[in-house]
Amino acid sequence: MKVLVCIKQVPDMESRFKANSSGNWYDEADLAFRMNEYDEYAVEQAVQLREQLGDAADVTVLSIGPDRVVEALKKALAMGCDRGVHVQDPAVSLKDPWQIASIIATYAKDKGFDLIFTGMQSQDRASAQVGVAVAEQLGYSCATTLVGFSFADGVVTAKRELEGGLKGVVKLRTPALVTCQLGLNVPRYPTLPNIMKAKKKEIQAIPVVDILKEEALAATASVYPPARKGGGIVLEGDLNDMASQLIGILKEKTAVVR
């Protein structure tokens, strides 16, 4: 059983963001990068499947981006993936989801992966397109937004999250691709011995030009901060001062605090 997990590295969302000088993405200076939250669930699920199947399974983790993404790959290897693939692309942020999907699909095409895991979306771009587009380009069956996953006899049973707490259960035959939602599992922390072991695992480097075959279908016109709605009161400073100011405001503006 061959398994592929696709991961992205994204900035910490609590950072302060500003547009870059070309106005087509955010400025990456001073940002700390980490594995996309949704992808951590994808890696964990792939590793759990590997544990279920033992050495009959082999898990490849792939990431596209500049050299910094090797850190995310190393984390996935330390979590239990078998091998890594780094598609080297310093300009990854300017590619549209269709191109990203085509890069993955071109890589995966002749490799015979039975199952592909991705996050349901990235935290920065949040298009929620790449996983499904990979499945379409490869002709795989696909289910998105998984909060439950099981695998037996070549069939995936997937619990999809719908709205308001409702879930939908579907069965898919392999080859299949699934996109993972928050809460699917509890991603493990890499242990020190596993971090050491991961250092010996192979990370294959592929220059993006070797496997990018598609033009972009959409283009970013501009990136800018949202207009401040304003109006809201901002309280800063001493804790007790703020607490009494807040209570004053609530007494005046709401009928429920007296």
Partner 1 sequence: MKALLVCEYREGKLLETSYELVAFAEKLGAEKAMVLIGSESEAPKVNGTVYLADAGKYGEYNPDVHKKIVLAAIERENPDYVAFVHSSFGWDLAPRVAASLKAAQISEIVDIVDGKFEVGVCNAKLRRTVTPKSGKAVLTIQAGAFSAAAASGAPQLERIEPADGASALEFVGYEPAEKKDVDLTRAEIIVSAGRGVGKKENVPVIAALAKAMGGELGASRPVVDAGWVEHSHQVGTTGQTVSPKLYVACGISGAIQHLAGMKKSDFIVAINKDKDAPIGEVADVLVVADVLQFAPALTAMLQK
Ligand X SMILES: Cc1cc2nc3c(=O)[nH]c(=O)nc-3n(C[C@H](O)[C@H](O)[C@H](O)COP(=O)(O)OP(=O)(O)OC[C@H]3O[C@@H](n4cnc5c(N)ncnc54)[C@H](O)[C@@H]3O)c2cc1C
Q: What gap in Å lies between CA 252 and CA 141, rounded to an integer?
A: 57
User: Which one of 172, 177, 198, 211 is in contact with partner 1 (CB under 8 A)?
Assistant: 172
Q: Which does 82 bind (CB under 5 to 8 A by kind): ligand X, partner 1, none?
A: none
Q: Residues in the site for ligand X, rule: CB under 6 A?
A: 13-14, 120, 182
Q: Is residue 82 a contact residue for partner 1 (CB under 8 A)?
A: no
Q: Which does 61 bind (CB under 5 to 8 A by kind): ligand X, partner 1, none?
A: none
Q: Is residue 199 a contact residue for partner 1 (CB under 8 A)?
A: no
Q: What gap in Å lies between CA 40 and CA 22, rounded to an integer?
A: 31
Subset of 10-69 contacting partner 1 (CB under 8 A) = 11, 13-14, 16-19, 26
Chain Cα centroid distance, residue 121: 6
Instruction: Name the pairing type of β-strands 141-152 and 176-180.
Output: parallel
Q: What gap in Å lies between CA 192 and CA 189, rounded to an integer?
A: 9
- E strand map for 8-68: 9-11, 33-35, 58-65
Query: Torsion angle, CA of 152/38/109/57, rounded to 10 degrees?
Result: -40
User: Which one of 77, 133, 146, 198 is in contact with partner 1 (CB under 8 A)?
Assistant: 133
Contact segment (CB under 8 A) with partner 1 among 78-86, 92-100, 107-115, 205-213 equals 92-100
Site string for partner 1, 217-246 (x = CB under 8 A): xxxxxxxxxx-xx-xxxxxx--xx-xxx-x
